[in-house]
Structure 1
Amino acid sequence: MRKLNWREIDLKVTLPRKVKSTKSIDGLEEFIGQERAIKALETGLKIKARGYNIFVSGSTNTGRRTFVSRYLKKKAEGGETPGDWIYVYNFDDPRSPNSIPLKAGMGKSFQKEMGEFVEITINAISESFQSEDYQQKVSAIQSEQAENRSSLLKELIEKAREKDFTVQINQTGVATIPLWNGKPLTQEIYEALPEEYQKTISKKGEEVRELVNSYILRMSKMEKEYGEKFKELNRDVASFALEGHIKEMKDKFSESKEVTEFIDNLRGDLLDNLGVFFSQETDAKSFFGKRYAINLFVDNSGIKGKPIVEVTNANYSSLFGRIEYLARMGMLDTDHSMIRSGAIHRSNGGYLVLDAKSVLSEPYVWQTLKQLLFSGSEVIENLEHKIGLLSTVSLKPEPIPLDIKIIMIGEPWIYSMLSTMDTDFKKLFKIKAEFDWEMRFDGDTVGKLCGLICSIARENSLMDFDRDAVKEVIKKAIILSGNRKKVSTQFGALKQLLLESSAIAEINGGDMVSAGDVTRAWEEMKTRVSLYQDKVKEMFADSTLLVQTEGELIGEINGLTVVQTEDLSFGIPVKITAKVGPGNSGIVDIQKESELSGNIHDKAGLTIQGYMNSKYAREFPLSLNGSISFEQVYSVVDGDSASVAETIAFLSAIAEVPIKQSIAVTGSINQSGRIQPVGGVQFKVEGFYELCKLKGLNGKQGVAIPETNFDNLVLPDEIVQAIKSGRFNIWTVETVDEAIELLTGLKAGQPDGNGKYPEGTFNNLVMQRLERFYEISIQEKK
């Protein structure tokens, strides 16, 4: 056991001499404290094989996203910029638009050129169709057509007359009328004719109708031939107006076979649809402009190196793209120009950074992501069609091959869950980059932290920090780690501290941020989230929670627990009581019997029994009825950090020796009575100090902690000063006996060769009382 001197506890931070303020030092370019993660990222990015995507695992505020972003930017700068992707009209199947890859920047150029091309060519063709030369050629064909039509009709009429019939053609059809004496035969005359004449007329009528049909076929064929002549004329005229522009476009984009093929197909399609120019209902520019529009699906013209896309809200559409629709006449319609890219497409050829929690929480995102990573390409399909909510006809765009490296950022529990529950996960994310939450505190680390503070200050346009302020920030980083030999890598929390410290200094009108500004910012950050802690303090002040900090009591001891909320951890003193008497029930844990005990606490109870048996039951069995309880604790108690306190309370009750209520104790024991380290020591010490300060510091109060927890004593300056002035104390202990001597003021006593403890020692008193219990149990049996 040793009583700690304030100098041992005080956090010592020695800055390099050159650090006068953040003005005098250079910013930090490298990322510190994550060498393991850096190596893992390097490996994952180097390996091009499928499945070598990266899962970045680490706690929040360790700078995972910032680090990944900066690291990828450096890697991407020297990489090859991937090309653009466009979607164009599919002339064979308009519902399946074609995808075309282009060099970076060529997509935007082609889109612009095609827009101008359509404008120019439509104007040129329209003007050609309105030219005098074209009109003359049309008139000539029309005249020839009319002449031939008239000739055919005349020939038909003459041949019909030979059979005593005439033919009349009008809008409703063709009429064949018999003649009688050169005049149309009336119904009255027809009925008055002999039956033989009527039969002759009917027979001739059939012959004339056959003749008419043959001439109608000839006229139809002729009309078709002249229709082809008109079409040929239109094609010739349009081709003449179009050809130069087509050649120019093909020459400009001759590097792309797909583009030149598209232009050739466009030429044929345009010539096949020249009727649009003569339609009164359709605007040619609008029709062809939409049909030949270039959908610049992925534009990498503004990128140097590989693309980096970071997505924090990974919903289905933002990640995998979508097909938009327009409502027309109560119907939903779409085309190739309404296909929109997602983050997957924009990061193709580069890196996509995803938030794991977002990916897993959004419907169908994780499943779809796996599918495309396995297939190596992505089919754009709206979620409502994928899950069958809509049955409307939709587009089926040609898939785009993917060459992508995905970096997914998440907490360790997400990695563990995916590894356990999804067999595909490790096939697709073969690299795990683990972010450490702390790093060793040494001279090199101090220098790097100074540079980091400088970088954060400059990047965020903060006030400069003076030397003492820099030192204070580093102290807070040590406190965040919970270990005086470590520094926290929760750089997000560190950045928040710097931002708020600068704001306070600015409000105070200082020239630089001082240590006082940093301390005030630190306290204000804690105060904002300490409502629960303050309520607990109020209960101590009102004596609603009964914990003494003075006097001595038998079988009662001050234990220490830690409460963790979403934003804050803090210690709370708790009274532990033990009661004993003769009997054979053993030790009853009231928490366990009330089902308010966790598994680890149950184990600690069994360990205490093992310790008691090994030390005090060598000559006779333990014969007692005992109970132990955490008073005024109504939630589940777990962990073994109170096992030292429970043991001493129980032994105090047996020996009937009072325990000092001015001292609280924490630590776990093994069956040999050695005291083992526990978590949250700094919070426990601070919690008991706050209670003592509330009730009045008297110089006798303090906390006993395991010797092995010494490095975890990262305490506020106020407590260090209280120790320095003799108003508060901290002791370290290694065994239960050392803790007994501290808490009772009696020597614990060591057994002699016969296993007997010296008279007047604590262990001797325990043995005497246990022996009396045993004798009573023997007498009861008799």
Structure 2
Amino acid sequence: MADIYNALCLTPEQLSSQFDPDALRFANTDELEPFLGVLGQERAVEALQFGVAMPRPGYNVFVMGEPGTGRFSFVRRYLKAEAKRLQTPSDWLYVNNFDDPREPRALRLPAGTAQQLITAIEQLIDNLLATFPAVFETPAYQQKKGAIDRGFNQRYDRALDVVEKLALERGIALYRDSSNIAFTPMKDGQALDEAEFAQLPEAERERFHTDVSELEERLNEELSALPQWKRESSNQLRQLNEETVTQALEPLLSPLAGEYCDNPDVCTWLQAVQADLLKTVVDQLVEDNRSDAQKRQALAEYYGPCLVVGHARDGGAPVVFESHPTYDNLFGRIEYSSDQGALYTSYRQLRPGALHRANGGFLILEAEKLLGEPFVWDALKRALHTRRLKMESPLAELGRIATVSLNPQVLPLQVKVVIIGARQLYYALQELDPDFQELFRVLADFDEDIPLASDNLEQFAQLLKTRTSEEGMAPLTGEAVARLATYSARLAEHQGRLSARIGDVFQLVSEADFIRQVAGDELTDIGHIERALKAKATRTGRVSARILDDMLAGVILIDTQGAAVGKCNGLTVLEVGDSAFGVPARISATVYPGSSGIVDIEREVSLGQSIHSKGVMILTGYLGSRYAQKFPLAISASIALEQSYGYVDGDSASLGEVCTLISALSRTPLKQCFAITGSINQFGEVQAVGGVNEKIEGFFRLCEARGLTGEQGVIIPWANVCNLMLDERVLHAVRAGLFNVYAVRTVDEALGLLVGEEVGVLGEDGQFPAGSVNARVVERLREIDALLDEPEDAGEEGENKEGESKDGESKAPAEAAAEPPVSA
């Protein structure tokens, strides 16, 4: 039997992959060149390069992978490098639409010139304030205006002179002021007051009234053309004002028109500005009594362009990352102001979004945040599909905006969108959204681990040098880099790979650098790395320490010595927050006559998840094909993972469960100094499981706390040997012969280790060797089958044998009934 143990026992060299610092060929990372690429992600890099270079629409990129693999930093760095070689997109402005202020117009200008136009308009406003109303105070204007006024007054005076002459002939005086015309009786060349007029004979008074009536009629006749005179005067004054304004605006607007003569949209808008100024400049600048500051603000709100996006002339294409992709942050928004409770807005209150800033370049978004915002995903698809960027409120379609809004001119959209997200989101979008595949045709898949080649290890060291230099941390020694490579392989759970979760390695380097600073050392060495790892394990180890204490106190029943029938030590992994640790768990099985089959207690109480239940069903298939070829598998058995009070998933306990069940069937005790993990198929082959390092270390901690005896060990699948990256404490115990790790390929190998004897090989005659464990299993199953068949035979013959109940139900014979069922 010792030969079996030796054949299946792993050597210390097989339990981990230690990196030799001497093979790194440098003393510390200061001797290395920086590494600016992404480590071991050639497939993803090629896909991203293709997606960025492909000019056709629909070739947007979805970058998928786990956080911490460097996907975001590489994508951003690569896009910025590519964007510098691309043409800088145009600048965009929104300006007032004087014909319909609710629909602002968009102006497109060459890159880097939008601010120049804004400055020019600001200078134009200053010049307007300096020009008006001063231009209306010049002698030439006043002279022309006076001539117009005099012409009107002369007409008016001539009409009054005719009436006044007729009034004097009748002894009546005509009086006029700025607003009234009155007639007064005269006597002896003197105007009479009311008292004197009352003393006149009644005939004279009547004659006066008659003459006044006639004079008023004549006055109306003479002044009947007064409205026409007024219109003609007003038209002349308006024409004079327009000529004056036009002459004053000409030197102000001509340079602008000449500068932007090659841009039809700007020229058209400048002409509209000039036409509007002809109508409003007198009201806004001449007759308005507001201060110059108030006038300037009003002009700026009416004529000043609203910048949508501006670029540096040679800045290349923009690369925009929107960390909070709400609808407004992506598509822009229309802001409102309140005046006495009423909301109002204007084109000057248009605020651009990330798509405006990224137009002509690249937009980076995070899938989880993007899909969590209402309205955004559908709107983004619509914009990419139509290649049009429209600024509107999503609430307007729902009728939730109860005020006048704007409808800005739609902008053409040319942007490459790069979405970064998890794998499950990518596959969910592919399955549920038919538009997704059409719009995001390029997938950049970042692997979770990296094949360990010589160049990858060197690049790993260069990447550490780059990060420490960027963060202002001390260089790393070769021993520290080798230890970090070992830690990365542990994260990858593979001796021939490094983890692509570079963020976790960088976090460890930062913590080690802090420990170095406290110690006052110049370089970060392996000792700082080890202390950082130990400190992290201490910070996150409260739950695991509490469980270990419960095991040592006997609250959680786990045996590490002796032997028992129908029970063995399984291995589980618990994840609490960002820490994962292994915990031994007792697996127990009971067998008794019946036809209920194998009952998975975890499933029956709804604690066993689907994969765990699948493992138990495979176990049933294996038992039937292995032991019940000549008779039906008719037993009642129950399997439980003892003292588990939460959900259980995974099939890694199926190897332990089948060994425990065979132990219960054959009444063969299993050694409790072992813990076992592994999945099986229906042919009894042992398959790989996850978390094997944590599981081994979890059982080792319990054995170490109780005292290592040299007999304790863990049984794992042979397929998991390449995943072993065990802690140095475990390696030290294995080297000292105090702890062992065994790798098995079949159930028989695992069972042989647990029972300490050969379990029996099926012979050519279809029989197991007499007295072997497997033979005892077949014998027990045949006994149970006979017990179940015997009452049926008695019932058929109609005999009342011993063991039959009064109501005719079958009972086991007294000999079998007296023997209690085997239980843990």
Q: Output the TM-score relative to the length of structure 1.
A: 0.92
Residue 675 of structure 2 aligns with which residue?
Answer: 664
| One-letter amino acid matched to 2:11 | N
SS of residue matched to 1:255: coil
What's the CA shift for 1:660?
A: 0.8
1:7 to 5, 9, 13: 13
Q: Confirm or deny: 8 A CA contact 1:165 1:205 kept in the other structure.
A: no
| One-letter amino acid matched to 1:51 | G
2:741 to 692, 706, 730: 730
1:133 to 128, 140, 153: 140
Query: How far apart are the structure 2 equivalents of 1:100 and 1:619?
Result: 88
SS of residue matched to 1:352: strand
| One-letter amino acid matched to 1:499 | S
Residue 251 of structure 1 aligns with which residue?
Answer: 258
Query: How far apart are the structure 2 equivalents of 1:764 and 1:733?
Result: 21
Deviations 1:352-407 (A, max 9, x none): 11111111212222222222222222222235545432211122221211111111
Matches for 1:528-677 after TM superposition, within 5 Å: 528-677=539-688
Which deviates more from structure 2 when the two are superposed, residues 334-343 or residues 765-774?
Answer: 765-774
2:712 to 686, 701, 721: 701
Does 1:471 pair with 2:482?
A: yes
Query: How far apart are the structure 1 equivalents of 2:494 and 2:555?
Result: 34
What's the CA shift for 1:166?
A: 10
Query: How far apart are the structure 2 equivalents of 1:38 and 1:174?
Result: 95
Matches for 1:711-726 after TM superposition, within 5 Å: 711-726=722-737
Q: Confirm or deny: 8 A CA contact 1:298 1:341 kept in the other structure.
A: yes
Deviations 1:291-314 (A, max 9, x none): 221212211127611000001111
1:231 to 217, 234, 238: 238
SS of residue matched to 1:424: helix
Query: How far apart are the structure 1 equivalents of 2:56 and 2:753?
Result: 64
| One-letter amino acid matched to 1:259 | V
Q: Confirm or deny: 8 A CA contact 2:24 2:478 kept in the other structure.
A: no
Instruction: Decide whether aligned partners of structure 1 residues 439 and 234 sit closer, same or farther in structure 2, where only a CA change above 3 A counts.
Output: same
Residue 157 of structure 2 aligns with which residue?
Answer: 150
Deviations 1:188-247 (A, max 9, x none): 99xx99xxx99x979x979976x7667655222222222222223233333333322222
Deviations 1:588-616 (A, max 9, x none): 22222223222222222221111111121
SS of residue matched to 1:638: coil
Which deviates more from structure 2 when the two are superposed, residues 573-582 or residues 522-531?
Answer: 522-531
Residue 277 of structure 1 aligns with which residue?
Answer: 285
Residue 447 of structure 1 aligns with which residue?
Answer: 458
What's the CA shift for 1:179?
A: 13
What's the CA shift for 1:506?
A: 1.2
Matches for 1:417-566 after TM superposition, within 5 Å: 417-566=428-577
SS of residue matched to 1:273: helix
Query: How far apart are the structure 1 equivalents of 2:310 and 2:487?
Result: 46
Deviations 1:43-65 (A, max 9, x none): 22222222222111111111121
SS of residue matched to 2:254: helix
Query: How far apart are the structure 1 equivalents of 2:163 and 2:424?
Result: 94
Which deviates more from structure 2 when the two are superposed, residues 431-440 or residues 68-77?
Answer: 431-440
Residue 305 of structure 2 aligns with which residue?
Answer: 294
What's the CA shift for 1:75?
A: 0.9
Deviations 1:571-601 (A, max 9, x none): 2111011111233333222222223222222
Deviations 1:95-124 (A, max 9, x none): 222110111111111111221122123302
| One-letter amino acid matched to 2:324 | N
| One-letter amino acid matched to 1:7 | E
Aligned-CA RMSD value: 3.1
Does 1:306 pair with 2:289?
A: no
What's the CA shift for 1:161?
A: 9.9
Q: Confirm or deny: 8 A CA contact 1:621 1:774 kept in the other structure.
A: yes
Q: Confirm or deny: 8 A CA contact 1:87 1:297 kept in the other structure.
A: yes
2:83 to 57, 76, 81: 76
SS of residue matched to 2:457: helix
Instruction: Decide whether aligned partners of structure 1 residues 150 and 750 sit closer, same or farther in structure 2, where only a CA change above 3 A counts.
Output: same
Residue 109 of structure 1 aligns with which residue?
Answer: 116
Matches for 1:155-304 after TM superposition, within 5 Å: 155=162, 218-275=225-282, 276-282=284-290, 283=292, 284-301=295-312, 304=315
2:774 to 750, 753, 763: 763
Q: Confirm or deny: 8 A CA contact 2:160 2:219 kept in the other structure.
A: no
Which deviates more from structure 2 when the two are superposed, residues 96-105 or residues 618-627?
Answer: 618-627
Query: How far apart are the structure 2 equivalents of 1:780 and 1:437?
Result: 60
Q: Confirm or deny: 8 A CA contact 2:159 2:219 kept in the other structure.
A: no
| One-letter amino acid matched to 1:743 | L
Q: Confirm or deny: 8 A CA contact 1:163 1:208 kept in the other structure.
A: no
Residue 49 of structure 1 aligns with which residue?
Answer: 56
Count matched residues. 777
Instruction: Decide whether aligned partners of structure 1 residues 125 and 727 sit closer, same or farther in structure 2, where only a CA change above 3 A counts.
Output: same
1:21 to 1, 15, 28: 28
Query: How far apart are the structure 1 equivalents of 2:393 and 2:219?
Result: 59
What's the CA shift for 1:658?
A: 0.8
Which deviates more from structure 2 when the two are superposed, residues 18-27 or residues 594-603?
Answer: 594-603
Structure 1 unpaired stretches of 5+: none
Instruction: Decide whether aligned partners of structure 1 residues 750 and 130 sit closer, same or farther in structure 2, where only a CA change above 3 A counts.
Output: same
Matches for 1:59-74 after TM superposition, within 5 Å: 59-74=66-81
What's the CA shift for 1:31?
A: 1.5
Residue 413 of structure 2 aligns with which residue?
Answer: 402
| One-letter amino acid matched to 2:486 | K
Query: How far apart are the structure 2 equivalents of 1:684 and 1:167?
Result: 122
Query: How far apart are the structure 1 equivalents of 2:734 and 2:166?
Result: 133
What's the CA shift for 1:752?
A: 2.3
Instruction: Decide whether aligned partners of structure 1 residues 9 and 225 sit closer, same or farther in structure 2, where only a CA change above 3 A counts.
Output: same
Query: How far apart are the structure 1 equivalents of 2:393 and 2:164?
Result: 65
Instruction: Decide whether aligned partners of structure 1 residues 524 and 153 sit closer, same or farther in structure 2, where only a CA change above 3 A counts.
Output: farther
Instruction: Decide whether aligned partners of structure 1 residues 488 and 148 sit closer, same or farther in structure 2, where only a CA change above 3 A counts.
Output: same
Identity of aligned pairs, percent? 33
Deviations 1:123-153 (A, max 9, x none): 0233322333333333333233322222234
Q: Confirm or deny: 8 A CA contact 1:667 1:678 kept in the other structure.
A: yes
Q: Confirm or deny: 8 A CA contact 2:387 2:414 kept in the other structure.
A: yes
Residue 379 of structure 1 aligns with which residue?
Answer: 390
Structure 2 unpaired stretches of 5+: 1-6, 795-824
SS of residue matched to 1:575: strand
Instruction: Decide whether aligned partners of structure 1 residues 579 and 372 sit closer, same or farther in structure 2, where only a CA change above 3 A counts.
Output: same
Instruction: Decide whether aligned partners of structure 1 residues 101 and 43 sit closer, same or farther in structure 2, where only a CA change above 3 A counts.
Output: same
Instruction: Decide whether aligned partners of structure 1 residues 315 and 162 sit closer, same or farther in structure 2, where only a CA change above 3 A counts.
Output: farther
Deviations 1:652-693 (A, max 9, x none): 111111111111111111111111111221121121112222
Instruction: Decide whether aligned partners of structure 1 residues 714 and 206 sit closer, same or farther in structure 2, where only a CA change above 3 A counts.
Output: farther
Which deviates more from structure 2 when the two are superposed, residues 292-301 or residues 269-278?
Answer: 269-278
Query: How far apart are the structure 2 equivalents of 1:46 and 1:201?
Result: 100
SS of residue matched to 2:434: coil
Which deviates more from structure 2 when the two are superposed, residues 553-562 or residues 634-643?
Answer: 634-643
Query: How far apart are the structure 2 equivalents of 1:359 and 1:663?
Result: 50
Query: How far apart are the structure 1 equivalents of 2:597 and 2:416?
Result: 62
What's the CA shift for 1:27?
A: 1.2
SS of residue matched to 2:63: strand
| One-letter amino acid matched to 1:620 | F
